[in-house]
Amino acid sequence: MSRAFNFSAGPATLPEVVLRQAQEQMLEFDGAGASIVEMSHRGPEFIAVAQQAEADLRRLLSIPEDYAVLFTAGGATAIQALLPLNFAAPQQRVDYVLTGHWGKTAVKQASPCAQVSIAASSEDSGFTRIPPRDSWQLGADAAYVHITDNETIHGVQFDGAPDTGKVPLFADFSSSIASAPLEVAKYGLIYAGAQKNLGPVGISVVIVRRELLERSGQPRAEIFNYRAVAARDSMLNTPPTWNWYLLGLTVRWMLEQGGVEHFARLNAEKSAAVYAAIDGSGGFYRNDVVPAARSKMNIPFFLPDDTLTARFVSQASQAGLLALKGHQAVGGIRASLYNAMPLAGAHALAAFMADFQQRNG
Ligand SMILES: *Cc1c(COP(=O)(O)O)cnc(C)c1O
């Protein structure tokens, strides 16, 4: 067996030790005579797994006590749809800052249930920058301000939390959660699908200041009510237990590696190696994002034409560098460098890029 370097944007590479541990425990969990995936979510084994995962995530991200942590199914997109239902009054204003594809998805999901106002957008420049904070048109009566911390397709990333005054800041951290330290208290709500940087697809995390759960929101079924979800420890119905378990293993691995400070250093080093390969190519490779907004997690870049792009993707794959094809919305190449991607993977990619250019430039 040989595991390649997998640059997939999501579902994405997981640490090999996590996969091995899951493999070892697949048939029998911890002497229980059954797999964790075969047990009741209300039994002591799974309750312990779930509580440990939450405790470890709280430690990893330094989540304050006055924040609830919810584990949900339906992905980040379902959360985007539930934000106005839970936190905005019917047709209340909500402010969205667009810095790429996923911000637009968030708007699309919120639009039926709120009066969405685009506070700022960098779409006219092809989503290559963060609109300067002083250009944002924010409403004092908005229920929240929504940003996408890291735009997974366009490769545009915020550097910290922008100040939104008294209106709580909601942030989609799907592709950047736990990639570096963050100050949770600066956000009203943080959410992330797990399949980029926290584990497997099928489970998502919502970190929300508890006082926001007191908002009445809009008429909705109990299962979509985050106050009820929090009150029942994310177990109103059967949660995705296997995914929760795998998330727990992944978070534990991150703590053991040295936590978010460790990954911030590692991710800076990995992304610097790939950006250096792009910027040092004399224009053969091109990334259009302004340097201050360049993502450390997802690096889109372009070759001179489509034939070279296709050749790059296929030869890279043969060289053990998988899933480098860019998202169809922008084309080109995309390298995702989540926490589970080792430094050696980024160096192997940079070396392949130099070699490919030499042969084709
Ligand atoms: C992948 C992604 C999403 C969508 O996630 P799903 O779990 O597929 O709904 C939303 N936002 C960002 C930033 C993403 O990277």
Tell me, yes or no, if the pTM score tops 0.85.
yes
- pLDDT tens-digit readout, 45-72: 999 999 999 999 999 999 999 999 999 9
Residues with Cβ < 8 Å from 246, sequence gap 6 or more? 14, 18, 22, 199, 200
Q: Which residues pair with 147 in a beta bridge?
A: 171
pLDDT of the residue at 84: 98
Which of 222, 256, 290 is the last residue in one of the domains? 256
**Does one domain contain both 145 and 287?**
no
The answer to whether residue 195 sits within a structural domain is yes
Q: Do 88 and 177 reside in the same domain of the chain?
A: yes
Give per-residue pLDDT as tens, 283-325: 999 999 999 999 999 999 999 999 999 999 999 999 999 999 9
What is the structure's pLDDT at 1? 67
Binding-site positions for pyridoxal 5'-phosphate: 76-77, 102, 152, 172, 195, 237-238
Counting Cα atoms < 13 Å in the Cβ hemisphere of 312 gives: 31
Query: For ligand 1, what atom is nearest to the CA of residue 152?
Result: 15
86 & 119 share domain: yes
Distances (CA, A) of 90 to 95, 96, 113, 217, 233: 15, 17, 6, 7, 27
Residues with catalytic function = 102, 172, 196
Distance 297 CA to ligand 1 centre (A): 14
Say which CATH number the domain at 102 has. Answer: 3.40.640.10
Q: How far is the CA of 154 from the centre of ligand 1 (A)?
A: 13
Q: In which region does residue 301 sit, left (phi positive, over 0), alpha (psi from -120 to 50) or beta (all else)?
A: beta
* Cβ atoms 164, 143 nearer than 8 A: no
CA distance 234 to 215: 18
Q: Which residues lie across from 205 on neighbouring strands?
A: 71, 192
Which pLDDT value is given to residue 297? 98
119 belongs to a structural domain: yes
221 and 280 assigned to the same domain:
no
Residue 1 lies in a domain: no
* Domain assignment present for 332: yes
Best mutation site among 82, 102, 154 for ligand 1 pocket (most ligand atoms within 8 Å of CB): 102
Same domain, 338 and 241: no
Annotated binding site for L-glutamate: 42
Domain of residue 282, residue span = 259-360
Q: Supply the residue whose CA is at minimum distance from atom 5 of ligand 1.
A: 76
Residue 320 is part of a domain; what is its CATH number? Answer: 3.90.1150.10
Distance 254 CA to ligand 1 centre (A): 21
User: Does 11 fall in a domain?
Assistant: no
Q: Which residues line ligand 1 (CB under 6 A)?
A: 10, 75-77, 102, 148, 152, 172, 174-175, 193, 196
- Residue 274 within a domain: yes
Per-residue pLDDT, 2: 83
C-alpha angle 244/249/254, rounded to 5°? 120
Look at ligand 1, atom 12, and give the residue with the nearest C-alpha: 174
Query: Tokens for 321?
Result: 């560098």
Which of 201, 235, 256 is where one domain is finished?
256
**Cβ pair 226, 211 in contact under 8 A:** no
What is the b/e burial string over 48-80, where b = at least 16 CB atoms within 10 angstroms of the residue's CB?
Answer: ebbeebbebbbebbebeeebbbbbbebbbbebb
Distance 43 CA to ligand 1 centre (A): 31
If asked whether residues 222 and 349 sit together in one domain, one would say no
Q: Considering its fold, how many domains does the chain have in total? A: 2
Q: Are residues 245 and 332 both part of a single domain? A: no
**Residue 40 pLDDT:** 97
The DSSP secondary structure of 8-39, one letter per residue, reads: -SSS----HHHHHHHHHHHS-STTSSS-GGGS
Q: For the chain, which residues score pLDDT lower than 70?
A: 1
Considering only CA atoms, which of 107, 247, 125, 278 is closest in space to residue 178?
247
- Domain co-membership, 249 together with 312: no
Peptide bond into 11 cis (omega under 30): yes
